[in-house]
Chains A and B, each alone.
Chain A
């Protein structure tokens, strides 16, 4: 009998928890709504004009694709700080390939470079057993240096003809393809499920006979591939590669993930919709600020503050005894 009572109590507790309105689950949507309304009013509705929506897409495509790639890392509780520097490197290599071999070589060069860097990240992380934080942070510094060497500290222009490639159908096709494939992989394949399981308890995954190292390394590779794609898009949009390419990617993606309510510790509560909502919020925030004529430097201040607010709201800090 006592056991039944205990169970009944527990059940009641769970029901209470379920019934209670959990602010954190709707916070991402409120955030997006807030940004839309705020900039909608401040720009007197011009945020939603065709021209501006196009600008949102131009900025947003990086954040959205980047966040989808990041999602698989996030689900495991890992981070990749090298995405921005990877993008700059891949873009520089693509520009060189386009100039020396021909415009057609730019895309393969960008994808290969991005993927190669992803593979190195994954191998260092799993084989040398260095934490993802340290691995990718060092990767970031190394790549930033490498870009300066490759570009000799200046700007490398791509053949002008390539600028014509940056069309809406292309952008939308790539974006939709990444979103759909990403969604299916994340929700409906063993890969996505195992990523979330690793975030929940890696040892249990290992004790289920799953090759932990493989599943820990692969997200870095897919992230690298997507970054290569972004590098190509950046090259055909701006027509050049500089060491500033992808400079805001890392922070925007991290910000999007947090605004989307993704838990930094990973696990099954990592939701795909969070990545979408979060990256849309960032895309509109950035475009909104640009439309209002706020300088990029000032935008950084705003994004930093938004980041803090996102962390403040999305983390359950009641159970945290010590700040690490």
Chain B
């Protein structure tokens, strides 16, 4: 590399989503010909930072400079014109359009002559762009929807490269690509680097990121942690920087013993379903069983299967009695409860009252003959919301007016009132701020003490370690490790089994 020349400079960038700080005073310098890797856990602010650079979102505070000049993109198209392109983590293409339309979206005027779009010319140009990235097998005239996921990603790469960007942002793209596709992308990055252009690279794959990048920048909870140069790369160092946060006392349960009874109350036998491959486990009475792994390791599907919401391709879900569970109704008959990761969309009825949300599972219990009386509903709600200390005006308040923590408590009250004995919590503290989080942890521990069993699925390793009697780690749909609760159980040890 020549004398360092700074291509992009980001200064004191901050961004809030409600009460969550997604980015807190983060600065960044990107040199010409540099491949900068961004790493951090889920929710550490990587995608937020890059999407602000690509003008998909805007920052609350902070300045950006492109080649020394202030850079204030008005839109992602504007950022594109100024030479910054991003390949998104999520799908950023349109299924109903052709490949060529996708590649030249927003740039159709290039091919408009006398008011008419020259489709032939557009398709020819698109094919050239595809050939350039060695995606010769993709037909530019085909409908995008007919391509597989990998090829769609390659179309996105072609679209980004076609505008000859100075900075290319690659956000978790490689997970969708096969070895071949990855090599193509690495090749593109290498040649951009040689031309003095720069890349910001995000990936969960540590080996990949160490191989590809010149410099790594670590983010944690939206805060800049450290920068590591190529010579100092080591998995141990990187992991420590990624997750090394202090766990305060009394936040989680304080005992360090794994305790549970021998009685099996729930089990899965050789379950395969979508990503999940041949998973078997037993849940004991009074046990908190934590499931951890990367977001796409299949643990969320496992929660769905456990409650009978999704039918497994192979295998059986069984209650303690040995009965097979095939539907939510059957699961509920065995006192199993489920709270989805997408609580607001799947577990709660936001535009209904607290009363309706808590009572709906227990109508057979509340009703007298065929009728449900208002007063009985109110008594029921009072009985089950009292201990949880739900902050509400009255039982008729709409659930959408509550905070995340109180919403979670409403969902909990619904199942407590139903008389659930086995709880499946998928991301129980998602979108809940720290004060209320500890509240939820206390409740979980209390349930355990009462002899109830919990399956806790979470993307936050700290809470899994902090709360579980036993931890199962999934990797690519398979169980890759199982650990009992003990003092020495550390995040770094678990991450080894995750990636």
Residues in A lying within 8 Å of B, measured CB to CB: 2-3, 6-7, 10-11, 14, 184, 188-190, 193-194, 196-197, 200-201, 203-211, 267-269
Q: Please name all residues of chain B whose beta carbon is closer than 8 Å to the beta carbon of A209 when the two chains form the complex.
A: 327-329, 331-332, 361
Q: Please name all residues of chain B whose beta carbon is closer than 8 Å to the beta carbon of A11 when the two chains form the complex.
A: 393
Q: Please name all residues of chain B whose beta carbon is closer than 8 Å to the beta carbon of A267 when the two chains form the complex.
A: 349, 351-352
Q: Does B1 contact A (CB under 8 A)?
A: no
28 residue pairs bridging A and B, Cβ less than 8 Å apart: A2-B19, A3-B436, A6-B403, A14-B393, A14-B401, A188-B371, A190-B372, A193-B360, A196-B352, A197-B349, A197-B352, A197-B360, A200-B349, A200-B352, A201-B349, A203-B345, A204-B347, A204-B348, A204-B349, A207-B338, A208-B328, A209-B329, A209-B361, A210-B329, A267-B351, A267-B352, A268-B349, A268-B351
**Min CB–CB distance A190 → chain B (angstroms):** 4
Contact B363 A193 (CB under 8 A): yes
Q: Does B231 contact A (CB under 8 A)?
A: no
Contact for B371 among A14, A189, A208, A211, CB less than 8 A? A189
**Min CB–CB distance A218 → chain B (angstroms):** 14
Q: Does B93 contact A (CB under 8 A)?
A: no
Contact B346 A207 (CB under 8 A): yes
**Min CB–CB distance A181 → chain B (angstroms):** 11
Contact B345 A208 (CB under 8 A): no
Contact B367 A190 (CB under 8 A): yes
Contact A184 B371 (CB under 8 A): yes
Contact for B370 among A6, A189, A206, CB less than 8 A? A189
**Min CB–CB distance B319 → chain A (angstroms):** 14
A193, A200, A209 pick with most chain B CB within 10 angstroms: A209
**Min CB–CB distance A81 → chain B (angstroms):** 25
Bound together, the chains give a CA A289 to CA B350 distance in angstroms of: 42
Q: Does B72 contact A (CB under 8 A)?
A: no
Bound together, the chains give a CA A197 to CA B361 distance in angstroms of: 11
Q: Please name all residues of chain A whose beta carbon is closer than 8 Å to the beta carbon of B360 when the two chains form the complex.
A: 193-194, 197, 204-205, 208, 210
Bound together, the chains give a CA A62 to CA B15 distance in angstroms of: 58
Q: With CB as the reference atom, state the residue of chain B lying closest to A267.
A: B351
Q: Does B247 contact A (CB under 8 A)?
A: no
Given the interface contacts A193-B360, A196-B356, does A6 sit within 8 Å of B19 by beta carbon?
yes
Residues in B lying within 8 Å of A, measured CB to CB: 19, 307, 309, 327-329, 331-332, 338, 340, 345-353, 356-357, 359-361, 363-364, 367, 370-373, 391, 393, 397, 401, 403, 414, 433, 435-436
Contact for B403 among A7, A196, A211, A268, CB less than 8 A? A7
Q: Please name all residues of chain B whose beta carbon is closer than 8 Å to the beta carbon of A210 when the two chains form the complex.
A: 329, 360
Contact for B433 among A3, A196, A206, A211, CB less than 8 A? A3
Contact for A10 among B327, B357, B403, CB less than 8 A? B403
Q: Please name all residues of chain A whose beta carbon is closer than 8 Å to the beta carbon of B347 when the two chains form the complex.
A: 204, 207
**Min CB–CB distance B134 → chain A (angstroms):** 40
Q: Please name all residues of chain B whose beta carbon is closer than 8 Å to the beta carbon of A14 when the two chains form the complex.
A: 393, 397, 401
Bound together, the chains give a CA A195 to CA B73 distance in angstroms of: 48
Q: With CB as the reference atom, state the residue of chain A lying closest to B346.
A: A203
Contact B372 A193 (CB under 8 A): yes
Bound together, the chains give a CA A205 to CA B367 distance in angstroms of: 18
Q: Please name all residues of chain A whose beta carbon is closer than 8 Å to the beta carbon of B393 when the two chains form the complex.
A: 11, 14
Q: Please name all residues of chain B whose beta carbon is closer than 8 Å to the beta carbon of A6 when the two chains form the complex.
A: 19, 403
Q: With CB as the reference atom, state the residue of chain A lying closest to B391.
A: A7
B327, B352, B356, B371 pick with most chain A CB within 10 angstroms: B352
Q: With CB as the reference atom, state the residue of chain A lying closest to B368.
A: A188
Contact A193 B433 (CB under 8 A): no
Contact for B329 among A184, A200, A211, A269, CB less than 8 A? A211
Q: Please name all residues of chain A whose beta carbon is closer than 8 Å to the beta carbon of B401 when the two chains form the complex.
A: 10, 14
Assuming A10-B403, A268-B356, what are 17 further A-B pairs, CB within 8 angstroms? A10-B401, A11-B393, A193-B360, A193-B363, A196-B352, A196-B356, A197-B349, A197-B352, A197-B360, A200-B352, A201-B345, A203-B345, A204-B357, A208-B328, A208-B361, A211-B329, A267-B351
Q: Please name all residues of chain B whose beta carbon is closer than 8 Å to the beta carbon of A197 when the two chains form the complex.
A: 349, 352, 356, 360
Bound together, the chains give a CA A188 to CA B393 distance in angstroms of: 23
Bound together, the chains give a CA A267 to CA B350 distance in angstroms of: 10
Contact B309 A207 (CB under 8 A): yes
Bound together, the chains give a CA A201 to CA B19 distance in angstroms of: 26
**Min CB–CB distance A109 → chain B (angstroms):** 29
Q: Please name all residues of chain B whose beta carbon is closer than 8 Å to the beta carbon of A268 when the two chains form the complex.
A: 349, 351-353, 356
Bound together, the chains give a CA A129 to CA B391 distance in angstroms of: 40
Given the interface contacts A14-B393, A193-B363, does A3 sit within 8 Å of B435 by beta carbon?
yes
Q: With CB as the reference atom, state the residue of chain B lying closest to A265.
A: B351
Sorted from nearest, which 6 A-B pairs have the closest CB atoms? A200-B349, A209-B328, A190-B363, A201-B349, A209-B332, A209-B329
Q: Please name all residues of chain B whose beta carbon is closer than 8 Å to the beta carbon of A201 when the two chains form the complex.
A: 345-346, 348-352
Q: With CB as the reference atom, state the residue of chain B lying closest to A185.
A: B370
Bound together, the chains give a CA A196 to CA B351 distance in angstroms of: 10
Q: Please name all residues of chain A whose beta carbon is closer than 8 Å to the beta carbon of B352 when the two chains form the complex.
A: 196-197, 200-201, 267-268
**Min CB–CB distance B334 → chain A (angstroms):** 11
**Min CB–CB distance B375 → chain A (angstroms):** 11
Bound together, the chains give a CA A105 to CA B414 distance in angstroms of: 49
Bound together, the chains give a CA A204 to CA B353 distance in angstroms of: 13
**Min CB–CB distance A316 → chain B (angstroms):** 12
Contact B372 A200 (CB under 8 A): no
Q: With CB as the reference atom, state the residue of chain A lying closest to B332.
A: A209
Contact B373 A188 (CB under 8 A): yes
Bound together, the chains give a CA A210 to CA B363 distance in angstroms of: 11
Q: Please name all residues of chain A whose beta carbon is closer than 8 Å to the beta carbon of B373 when the two chains form the complex.
A: 188
Contact A207 B345 (CB under 8 A): no
Q: Please name all residues of chain A whose beta carbon is closer than 8 Å to the beta carbon of B356 when the two chains form the complex.
A: 193, 196-197, 200, 268
Bound together, the chains give a CA A208 to CA B348 distance in angstroms of: 10
**Min CB–CB distance B276 → chain A (angstroms):** 19
Q: Please name all residues of chain B whose beta carbon is closer than 8 Å to the beta carbon of A7 when the two chains form the complex.
A: 391, 403
Contact for B350 among A194, A200, A205, A211, CB less than 8 A? A200
Q: Please name all residues of chain B whose beta carbon is closer than 8 Å to the beta carbon of A188 when the two chains form the complex.
A: 371-373
Contact for B307 among A3, A10, A193, A207, CB less than 8 A? A207
Q: With CB as the reference atom, state the residue of chain A lying closest to B362.
A: A208
Bound together, the chains give a CA A307 to CA B371 distance in angstroms of: 35
Q: Please name all residues of chain A whose beta carbon is closer than 8 Å to the beta carbon of B361 when the two chains form the complex.
A: 208-209
Q: Please name all residues of chain B whose beta carbon is closer than 8 Å to the beta carbon of A200 when the two chains form the complex.
A: 349-352, 356
**Min CB–CB distance B397 → chain A (angstroms):** 8
Bound together, the chains give a CA A209 to CA B326 distance in angstroms of: 11
Q: With CB as the reference atom, state the residue of chain A lying closest to B370.
A: A189
Q: Please name all residues of chain B whose beta carbon is closer than 8 Å to the beta carbon of A3 when the two chains form the complex.
A: 403, 433, 435-436
Q: Please name all residues of chain B whose beta carbon is closer than 8 Å to the beta carbon of A184 when the two chains form the complex.
A: 371
B345, B349, B414 pick with most chain A CB within 10 angstroms: B349
**Min CB–CB distance A180 → chain B (angstroms):** 13
**Min CB–CB distance B300 → chain A (angstroms):** 14
